[in-house]
Amino acid sequence: MRIDKFRYLAAEVISKALEELFAGSSFAEISLDSKNIYRRLEPPKDPKMGNYAFPLFEAAKILGKNPNEMNRQLTEIENRLARGEKEFSCLTFQAVGGFNNVLIDGVALAQETIHTILNAGNDYGSSKDGQRKNIVIDFSSPNIAKPFGVGHLRSTAIGGSLYRIFRKLGYTPVGINHLGDWGTQFGKMIVAYRRWGDDAALRTNAVRYLYDLYVRFHKEEETDPGLSEEARQAFKAMEDGDSETLALWQKFKDLSMAEFNKVYDMMGVHFDYQTGESFYNDKMEAVIERLMKAGLAEVSEGALVVDLSRFNLPACLLRKADGATLYATRDITGILYRWETFHFEKALYVVGSAQHDHFRQVFKVVELLEEAESLPPSEQISPRLFHVEFGWIKFQDEVMSTRLGNIIFLEEVFAKAIALAREKILEKNPDLKDIDRVARQIGIGAVIFADLSTRKEKDVNFDWSKVLNFEGETGPYLQYTHARLSSLLRHYGNMVKPDIDFRLLHHPEEERVIEFLYRFPMVVVEAASIYDPNVIGAYLLGLASAFNKVYQRKDASGRIDKILSDDEALTAARMALVSSVRTVINEGLSLLGIEAPEEM
């Protein structure tokens, strides 16, 4: 199945026509082969003007022609070519000023699209283009012994979705949870626990308890500066392999992981590796040596740093004067390790925009290393590294910060969403079977969709009165549309067949839906290319609202033109459309990591 088949055909006709019009040398001058034209086809300003538009201004200028005149001649040839060959007969060309517009025949578009979807089912839009190449996705990556913050939630939602999107496109995604399980903050937690902690309390609600201790540490540190030194010592003991300190650290880690895993189970997220920062402990020394050998690392005030001032970046600290390594040291080591292990096509770091500079520094150090070692292009890693950054989530317009003790506990967010979803169900459909399961699906779906509902660079304003609205731009709205379509299909007996009369789907509302469906594979590719699942979320909202116009369409007498009617052929055609929309919403939601109940 070729992605965007009609665009490909259109480009072929246009290039043939250009060749005929400017036979010989002048055709070469404008260097417009069908591939080139394919890339330059754009959506027309007004969708009524057709499916694609090819602007002729540039070519006309090079050839010294009037674009309008050239366009008239060109469309004449194009339409002759299209009528002459069966493959192209679905296309009509129109000259509108300097725009060469292409119209796809509605019946051909409906047939191609619906047949493809009915055949492929949820595989619609899948491809093998990724050739199984590895895409490393570093996502979620919460910090041990600290609450799973809303920023980690957003990373989990975006990263988890990118994982599914790349897999659909034939890549091999490698999901890594780069847990924050090392660093000076553990020194603080260990000191706080030794001073004020209690094992029984720790075991009942580990993360919350450790978090409270951590907050207390910061408060008491203000009046008791000795605490800081003590914490530094404790972390040093960890780095030196002191077994008692490490046993405590391991306990914090195990208890935290058990809580994080609950969230991952709820969200249906899976990791291929849970290699946190501590995984790189025994690998950093070799990397530091490599950086020194390359002449990049220098000693400054006892610390080891890579100077990045000529790039307008703060120096990258590799090792403090007391010998302790840093977050950046572990990330640089991680990049080199992952490259050796996975030879990735790309490595994505799904981390909030607060770490913009951190990733610029770390990526720059890797780039400088490649230069210093004069690695051949095939061994260069830095062009493959991407910081997939995203904005904050704000609850009531407040940005979260763990340091200040101002934080939302994720389990509470989910619990509240599920409770609200349950209320909604009880109000709308109290007889629903399996209310618990559906309430979970809706509640969790609502939270995930809220996270993906804006372009990732933008902040999310999380508003409880909106995220669960069945009629708004929400996950539950999409789930609800999906459930309605499923119910229609059940009433129809799920007897959708592909041999239907596509001419019966001729209302503009239906044509609009078909155009949406046709675009789905392109939308998935687009989401992958800009690393933003929101592309799919926004598309699904558009598709659902386009379909609702079909659903509510009135006939000439002002009555709703029902989808299921006594007219068998008409019902069959409409149900094929219903089934196709259901499939695409189902698959689209699944790419976002959202379940789609059959009933709700």
Contacting positions for ligand ARG (CB under 6 A): 138, 141-143, 178, 180, 331, 334, 349, 351
| CB closer to ligand ARG out of 260 and 551 | 260
Q: Please, which residue, 52 or 363, has the CB nearer to ligand ARG?
A: 363
Give the nearer residue to ligand ARG in terms of CB position, either 146 or 164: 146
Nearer to ligand ARG, 334 or 533 (CB): 334
The CB-of-520 to ligand ARG minimum distance in angstroms stands at 31
Nearer to ligand ARG, 291 or 584 (CB): 291
351 or 452: CB nearest ligand ARG = 351
CB 330 to ligand ARG: min, Å: 8
Identify which of residues 155 and 454 has a Cβ nearer to ligand ARG in the complex: 155
Minimum CB distance to ligand ARG smaller for 44 or for 334: 334
Q: Which is nearer to ligand ARG, 104 or 267 (CB)?
A: 267
Least Å from the CB of residue 594 to ligand ARG: 24
- Shortest separation between residue 402's beta carbon and ligand ARG, angstroms: 9
- Shortest distance in whole angstroms from residue 596 CB to ligand ARG: 30
On the 0-12 / 13-18 / 19+ scale of CB atoms within 10 A, 270 is exposed
Identify which of residues 314 and 498 has a Cβ nearer to ligand ARG in the complex: 314
Q: What is the dihedral of CA 66, 72, 76, 79, to 10 degrees?
A: 110
Choice between 359 and 518, CB closer to ligand ARG: 359
| Concatenated DSSP letters of 111-153 | HHHHHHHHHHGGGTT--STTTT-EEEEE---PBTTS---HHHH
Could you tell me where the beta strands, DSSP code E, fall in 224-345?
297-300, 303-306, 316-319
- Taking the complex as a whole, how short is the minimal distance between the CB of residue 142 and ligand ARG, in angstroms? 6
Backbone angles phi, psi at 295, to 5 degrees: 75, 20
Q: Are 77 and 20 in contact (CB under 8 A)?
A: yes
Which tokens sit at 134? Answer: 């590895």
Residue 400 Cβ, how far from ligand ARG at the closest point, in Å? 12
Closest CA to 185 of 203, 210, 151: 210
CB of 397 to ligand ARG, least distance (A): 22
Residue nearest to ligand ARG (CB): 180
Could you tell me the strand order of the sheet in which 172-176 lies? 172-176, 134-138, 346-350, 385-388
Query: At its nearest, how many Å lie between ligand ARG and the CB of residue 193?
Result: 20
The one-letter code for the residue type at 16 is K
Minimum distance of ligand ARG from residue 209's CB (angstroms): 19
| Three-class DSSP category at 40 | helix
Bridge partners (DSSP) listed for residue 174: 136
Q: Closest separation between CB of residue 364 and ligand ARG, Å?
A: 15
Please, what is the minimum distance in Å from the beta carbon of residue 140 to ligand ARG? 8
CB atoms within 10 A of CB 582: 23
Nearest approach, Cβ of 68 to ligand ARG (angstroms)?
55
* Cα 574 → chain centroid: 32
| Minimum CB distance to ligand ARG smaller for 154 or for 178 | 178
Q: How far is the CB of 183 from ligand ARG (least distance, A)?
A: 9
Round to whole Å and give the CA distance between 313 and 277. Answer: 23
Given the complex with ligand ARG, which of 100 and 143 has the nearer CB atom?
143
Upper half-sphere CA count for residue 488 (Cβ side, 13 Å): 23
Tokens of 138: 């570093």
Distance separating alpha carbons of residues 151 and 298, to the nearest angstrom: 34
- The smaller minimum CB distance to ligand ARG, of residues 138 and 473, is found at 138
Q: According to the 3-state scheme, what is the secondary structure of 345-414?
A: CEEEEECCHHHHHHHHHHHHHHHHHHHHCCCCHHHCCHHHEEEECCCCEEECCEECECCCCECCCHHHHH
Three-state DSSP state, 297:
strand
Asked if residues 573 and 501 have their Cβ atoms less than 8 Å apart, the reply is yes
End-to-end CA gap in the chain = 34
Q: Are 6 and 90 in contact (CB under 8 A)?
A: yes
Instruction: Name which of 209, 185, 189 is nearest 199 in CA terms.
Output: 209
Residue closest to 4 by CA, chosen among 112, 160, 94? 112
Residue reference for tokens 């082969």: 33
Q: Identify whether the C-beta of residue 558 lies closer than 8 Å to the C-beta of residue 532.
A: no
